[in-house]
Structure 1
Amino acid sequence: MGIILTLLLSLSAFVIVVWTLMHLRTPRFRMDRQSFVRGLEDVISGQASETEWRALVACPMRHDPRLEQLRLECLKIEEREYNEGSPYLFTQAGIKQLREVRRQLLTEIAGQQPKS
């Protein structure tokens, strides 16, 4: 009788754990446009580390197609102009191109603000 009770309790615990794991949502990272601008500003000013740059451009931004387009543009700039220098991660040409991406994004953000 004790073995059957132990098996039932073990099976119940296993089912509860499996059910819980199946219904938990995985955490999702969603960068918004303002956060992306701040990240670009840190890179442009030489305040961002390589790790911060990777965090900025590593995750696809499926929730915002325009932001995803700009992220891909940043990756193209990285391919051509990445410097791994300190404090600037990009060449002067790369920083100029990142400023242009930042300007485009700020213009779009300003255009979305409700007019009072």
Structure 2
Amino acid sequence: MALYLLVFGVCLLVMGAVLLVLMNAGTPRYRTEPKDLIALFDKALESKVSETEWNALIGYPIRHDEYLDNVRRRASHLMDTHGRRWQIAQGKPLLNQEGYAELKALRDHLAAHTALRQR
């Protein structure tokens, strides 16, 4: 009987600890920051970004910063109008020449805005 109570007590303690940890653990959140978009744009300009990586950042809204969400929407629009997704697998550029120039300008604008915001 003592062994039964010992095993029951240990199991109860372990389940209680797990329940306590699960109740106190928050939902993980990912916040897209300007440095994340700048890094993505740099990789896209170097033709080193995958379609999955592009869609992971550009495909989801940024709710905590309206300016960043506008940049994200502009990048999404660039992909819709100038994108060449089918050529990524061949190592060719993600965007055509006009899209490349617009993405570079968008990246430079975001970098300048971020630098001003940090001052």
TM-score normalized by structure 1?
Answer: 0.76
Aligned residues: 114
Alignment of 1:58-69 (within 5 A): 58-69=59-70
1:30 maps to 31
Alignment equivalent of 2:110, drawn from 105, 108, 113: 105
1:53 maps to 54
The residue type paired with residue 58 of structure 2 is V
Distance 2:36 2:24 in 1: 30
- Residue-by-residue CA offset, 1:43-102 (whole Å, 9 max, x unaligned): 123232223323432443333221122112212222222212132112223223312321
Between Structure 1 and Structure 2, the one with more helix by share is: 2
The residue type paired with residue 94 of structure 2 is L
Alignment equivalent of 1:95, drawn from 78, 90, 100: 100
Q: Which runs of 5+ in 1 are unaligned?
A: none
1:80 maps to 81
**Greater than 4 Å deviation, 4+ residue runs:** none
2:6 maps to 5
- Percent identity among equivalent residues? 27
Q: Is the 8 A contact 1:47 1:87 kept in 2?
A: no
Q: Secondary structure in 2 aligned to 1:15?
A: helix
- Identify the range of structure 1 (86-95 vs 24-33) with the bigger mean alpha-carbon deviation: 24-33
Q: Is the 8 A contact 1:46 1:89 kept in 2?
A: yes
**CA RMSD after TM alignment:** 2.3
Distance 1:72 1:49 in 2: 18
TM-score normalized by structure 2?
Answer: 0.74
